[in-house]
Copies of this chain bind each other. A is one copy, B any other.
Amino acid sequence: MPEPFTPTARTTVRRDDRAAYDHDVVRAVFDEALICHVGFVVDGQPYVMPTIHCRIDDVLYLHGSPATRMMRLMKAGTPVCVTATLVDGLVLARSWFHHSMNYRSAVALGVPREVTDPEEKQAAFRALMDQVAPGRAELTRAPDDMETRKTLVAALDLDEVSAKVRDAGVIDDEEDLTLPHWAGVLPLRVTAGPPETDPLLNAATPVPEHVSGWRRP
């Protein structure tokens, strides 16, 4: 693993007991998150849009129709902020004030570039598939030329990056410890329900393991 990311004035986490700049922490957040939120600015107004992403080494990839505003802006080289957040648990204290969440978040700042190299674009498509359902890329039809042209892929180097992690129990005030209220952490995770097979599918087609056994890392 390379050296930790170097915090800049823009990525120094103010609350430093939760700050993390290690590659493995930042990478793990982006890898586990199913979606990210992309911030961009138009006429001084910030916009925040959810989208899916993937990571290869220290590059994040985003994609979409070239017709969308967000993709057009990214192609034009607008500054963005890409944030991924995992909610790991509710921290339920005896006092309202000390309620919190256990979470991991990662924030990447920078100016994206359009991916024009065909091999890099194809690798990004594959990684996007594996981000959502690892193993699925092998078992489905890869994009043809037309589909590839109809998709814009933007790359953001993970360079100006920070993460925040809270992973601890309840921290109540000493004088509240004798209150009769239950306190603790309620762990949360994203789980899958039973797969809903496409009605147009041949009913004999088995549900593959990457679907029936789907879980986040």
User: Which residues on A are within 8 Å of B, measured CB to CB?
Assistant: 10, 14-15, 34-35, 37-41, 44-50, 52, 67-69, 79-83, 85, 87, 89-90, 92-97, 99, 101, 103, 105, 107, 109, 125, 128-129, 132-133, 136-137, 139-143, 147, 150-151, 169-170, 172, 176-177, 179-202, 205-208, 211, 214
| A87-B34 contact, Cβ under 8 Å, with A132-B99, A190-B189 | yes
Contacts of A194 in B (CB 8 A): 187
- Structural contact, A214 and B186, CB atoms closer than 8 A: yes
A211 CB, nearest partner CB in chain B, Å: 6
Whether A90 pairs with B133 at a CB distance below 8 angstroms is yes
Roughly how many angstroms separate A46 CA and B136 CA in the complex, as a whole number?
Answer: 34
CA distance A14 to B67 in the complex (A): 9
Question: Are B196 and A208 neighbours in the complex by a CB distance under 8 Å?
Answer: no
A-B contact pairs, 26 of them (CB 8 A): A14-B67, A34-B101, A34-B188, A35-B85, A41-B44, A41-B45, A46-B79, A49-B105, A90-B132, A90-B133, A92-B140, A93-B140, A94-B141, A95-B147, A96-B141, A96-B142, A97-B150, A99-B140, A140-B181, A182-B208, A183-B198, A183-B201, A184-B196, A185-B198, A186-B193, A186-B195
Are B137 and A83 interface neighbours, CB within 8 A?
no
Give the Cβ gap from A84 to chain B, nearest Cβ, in Å: 9
- Chain B residues lying within 8 Å of A83, measured Cβ to Cβ, are 37, 48-50
In the complex, A191 Cα to B215 Cα: how many Å? 12
Q: Which residues of B contact A185 (CB under 8 A)?
A: 195-196, 198
- Closest B residue to A33 by CB, please name it: B87
The complex is assembled from copies of this chain, and their number is 2
- A39 adjacent to B44 (CB under 8 Å): no
A207 contacts B182, C-beta separation under 8 Å: yes
- Whether B45 pairs with A151 at a CB distance below 8 angstroms is no
Q: Is the CB of A139 within 8 A of B181?
A: yes
The winner among A50, A189, A193 for most chain B CB atoms within 10 A is A50
Provide the residues of chain B in CB contact with A132, threshold 8 Å.
90, 99, 101
| Beyond A87-B190, A183-B201, A187-B194, 4 additional pairs, beta carbon < 8 A | A15-B68, A37-B85, A92-B140, A97-B147
